[in-house]
């Protein structure tokens, strides 16, 4: 093999190697950008009372957070979130906050509280269904833990992702939940 | 010549596959019952039941008695009360109803009116025995005109028909309708 031929082969190999590395890098960067886009934000944006939040099936507009006295003697105090709910889908929803249910999550001092009871303001009954285009006012009630000191609390809202054709059967499915908004405030009526 | 023939064969196969992929029904439409439009007042027949839309009433509020308590339900929209007559074919069964509004949105039976007398959700239909039932929906008023009552069997709707029953003439809206046992 002559010196010239060896140099030419080396140069061609080097060129092909550089092109392959470039293509691989472009594919990896593209994939990573897609992962970043799909990833839930670490800190969902802050919303204020009165701002609507899209939760997938419904839109919730938190209106006011208040500390209320116990319903009956001997029971703990309650934290009440008054809100407006609107069904955004084309059919009546029984799983208003998705399935499994993800109602707004309340936390105080980094400690999450158990799920709230949700009642329809119209008749005081539990919320069991929401029809399209019929907005309803509801109250979400949390029982206050005995060791809680009145102060700021945070509410995290989760949105469930809808896919018209999922990857398994190609059917319409409600999939993962992602935190989409956070609201921090001191409840009204707290001493 | 042979090469050109092979290329043409591959292209024809690709075109055929593409056409099949484009026209194959997706999962969402495959698992739906067959829609069967029924004119107002006529009796519609599915594989497992037949039914007729006998009456329609609209009300701002409804009142009924449940577990010994008198209840009144109000709405920002309107309560639509559909009266039907139905019988099963072959085997006893229950029926499910949805109101498909003028916009195409689907309103399920109102769970705020559960356990009303003669309520559809608690009714069984027997073969050869006509039975009456009432279905209550809660919906915006502009979804009533141009809508249809969609009736399906409760258990095997996929391989059966969904009867799209056109409503009779629209009545006046009443302030309150009471359901007596």
pLDDT tier, A55 (very low <50, low <70, confident <90, very high otherwise): very high
Residue pLDDT, tens place only, B132-146: 999 999 999 999 999
DSSP-based three-state secondary structure for A174: strand
Residue range B139-167: mean pLDDT, rounded: 91
> What residues in A contact B104, CB-CB < 8 Å?
90
Residue-level pLDDT at B37: 96
Is the predicted pLDDT of residue B19 greater than 90, yes or no?
yes
DSSP code, position A145: P
Is the predicted pLDDT of residue A149 greater than 90, yes or no?
no
* A133 CA: distance to closest CA in chain B (Å): 7
Residue-level pLDDT at B14: 97
CB atoms within 10 A of CB A153: 22
Is the predicted pLDDT of residue B2 greater than 60, yes or no?
yes
Is B5 among the domain residues? no
CB atoms within 10 A of CB B139: 25
pLDDT tier, B57 (very low <50, low <70, confident <90, very high otherwise): very high
Residues B71, B34: Cα–Cα separation, whole Å? 38
Residue-level pLDDT at A191: 64
Residue pLDDT, tens place only, A112-128: 999 999 999 999 999 99
Residues A68, A91: Cα–Cα separation, whole Å? 34
Which is it for the CA torsion A84, A90, A92, A97, positive or negative? Answer: negative
Is B155 among the domain residues? yes
Is B20 among the domain residues? no
Domain range for B61: 34-178
Is B2 among the domain residues? no
Question: Based on the structure, what is the number of domains in chain B?
Answer: 1
Residue range A170-183: mean pLDDT, rounded: 92
Residue-level pLDDT at A3: 67
DSSP-based three-state secondary structure for A169: coil
Residue-level pLDDT at B50: 95
Residue-level pLDDT at B166: 96
Residue range B4-12: mean pLDDT, rounded: 94
Residue range A140-165: mean pLDDT, rounded: 92
Residue-level pLDDT at A190: 67
Residues B39, B166: Cα–Cα separation, whole Å? 5
Residue-level pLDDT at A71: 82
Is the predicted pLDDT of residue A101 greater than 90, yes or no?
yes
* Of residues B26, B73, B107, nearest to A131 (C-beta): B107
Core vs surface per residue A158-176: b (16+ CB within 10 A) or e: bbbeeeeeeeeeeeebbee
Residue-level pLDDT at A148: 87
Contact (CB, 8 A) for A176 and A141: no
- Terminal Cα-to-Cα distance of chain A (whole angstroms): 92
Is the predicted pLDDT of residue A27 greater than 90, yes or no?
yes
Is B14 among the domain residues? no
* A39 CA: distance to closest CA in chain B (Å): 27
Is the predicted pLDDT of residue A16 greater than 60, yes or no?
yes
Residue range A17-37: mean pLDDT, rounded: 92
Residues A137, A52: Cα–Cα separation, whole Å? 13
What percent of chain A has a predicted confidence (pLDDT) above 90?
Answer: 68
Per the model's pLDDT, the better-predicted residue between B137 and A168 turns out to be B137
Does B57 contact chain A (CB < 8 Å)?
A: no
Is B19 among the domain residues? no
Q: Kindly determine whether residue A90 and residue B139, on different chains, have CB atoms separated by under 8 Å.
A: no
Residue-level pLDDT at B102: 96
Helix (H) or strand (E) holding A29: helix A3-38
pLDDT tier, A1 (very low <50, low <70, confident <90, very high otherwise): low
A150-189 residues touching B, CB cutoff 8 A = 164-165, 169-172
Q: Kindly determine whether residue A172 and residue B77, on different chains, have CB atoms separated by under 8 Å.
A: no
Residue pLDDT, tens place only, B100-151: 999 999 999 999 999 899 999 999 999 999 999 999 999 999 999 999 999 9
Average pLDDT, chain A: 90
B88-117 residues touching A, CB cutoff 8 A = 98, 104-108, 110-112
Is B27 among the domain residues? no
Residue range A1-9: mean pLDDT, rounded: 71
Which is it for the CA torsion A112, A118, A121, A124, positive or negative? Answer: negative
Contact (CB, 8 A) for A95 and B78: no
Residues A23, A18: Cα–Cα separation, whole Å? 9
pLDDT tier, A41 (very low <50, low <70, confident <90, very high otherwise): low
Residue range B87-99: mean pLDDT, rounded: 94
Is B8 among the domain residues? no
Three state DSSP letters for B17-66: HHHHHHHCCCHHHHCCCEEEEECCCCEEECCCEEEEEEEEEEEEEEEEEE
Is the predicted pLDDT of residue B4 greater than 80, yes or no?
yes
Per the model's pLDDT, the better-predicted residue between B32 and B44 turns out to be B44
Distances (CA, A) of B50 to A4, A21, B37, B169: 90, 68, 13, 21
* A26 CA: distance to closest CA in chain B (Å): 30
Ranges of beta strands (E only) in chain B are 34-38, 43-45, 49-66, 69-88, 95-100, 106-108, 131-139, 148-153, 161-165, 173-178
Find, in chain B, the residue whose alpha carbon is nearest to that of A169: B27
Q: What is the dihedral of CA A18, A22, A28, A32, to 10 degrees?
A: 140
* Of residues A94, A131, A135, nearest to B138 (C-beta): A131
- Is B72 exposed, middle or buried, given 0-12, 13-18 or 19+ CB atoms closer than 10 A? exposed
Residue-level pLDDT at A2: 64
- The domain that holds B87 is classified in CATH as 2.60.40.1240
Selection from B74, B68, B140, B108 nearest residue A123 by Cα: B74
pLDDT tier, B1 (very low <50, low <70, confident <90, very high otherwise): low
* Of residues A91, A128, A134, nearest to B76 (C-beta): A134
């Amino acid at each position: 093999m002559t010196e010239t031929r060896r140099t030419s082969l080396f140069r061609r190999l080097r060129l092909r190697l550089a092109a392959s590395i470039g293509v691989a890098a472009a594919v990896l960067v593209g994939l990573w950008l897609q992962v970043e886009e799909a990833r839930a934000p670490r800190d969902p944006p802050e919303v204020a009372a009165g701002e609507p939040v899209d939760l997938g099936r419904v839109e919730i507009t938190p209106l006011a957070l208040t500390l209320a006295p116990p319903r009956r003697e001997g029971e703990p105090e309650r934290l009440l979130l008054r809100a407006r709910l609107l069904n955004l889908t084309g059919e009546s929803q029984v799983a208003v906050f998705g399935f499994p249910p993800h109602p707004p999550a309340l936390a105080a001092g980094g400690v999450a509280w158990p799920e709230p009871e949700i009642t329809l303001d119209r008749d005081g009954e539990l919320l069991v269904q929401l029809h399209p285009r019929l907005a309803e006012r509801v109250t979400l009630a949390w029982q206050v833990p005995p060791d809680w000191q009145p102060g700021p609390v945070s509410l995290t809202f989760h949105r469930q992702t809808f896919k018209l054709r999922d990857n398994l059967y190609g059917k319409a499915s409600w999939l993962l939940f992602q935190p989409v908004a956070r609201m921090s405030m001191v409840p009204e009526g707290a001493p | 010549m042979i090469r050109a023939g092979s290329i043409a064969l591959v292209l024809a196969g690709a075109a055929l596959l593409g056409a099949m992929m484009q026209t194959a029904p997706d999962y969402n439409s495959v698992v739906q019952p067959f829609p069967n439009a029924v004119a107002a007042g006529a009796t519609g027949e599915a594989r497992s039941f037949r039914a007729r839309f006998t009456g329609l009433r609209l009300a701002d509020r409804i009142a009924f008695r449940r577990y010994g308590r008198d209840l009144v339900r109000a709405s920002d929209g309107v309560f639509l009360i559909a009266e039907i007559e139905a019988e099963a074919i072959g085997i006893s069964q229950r029926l499910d109803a949805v109101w498909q509004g003028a916009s195409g949105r689907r309103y399920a039976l109102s769970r705020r009116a559960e356990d009303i007398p003669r309520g559809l959700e608690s009714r069984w239909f027997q073969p050869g025995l006509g039975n009456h039932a009432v279905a209550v929906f809660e919906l915006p008023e502009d979804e009533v005109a141009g809508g249809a009552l969609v009736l399906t069997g409760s258990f095997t709707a996929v391989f059966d028909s969904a009867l799209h029953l056109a409503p009779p003439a629209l009545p006046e809206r009443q302030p309150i309708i009471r359901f007596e046992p």
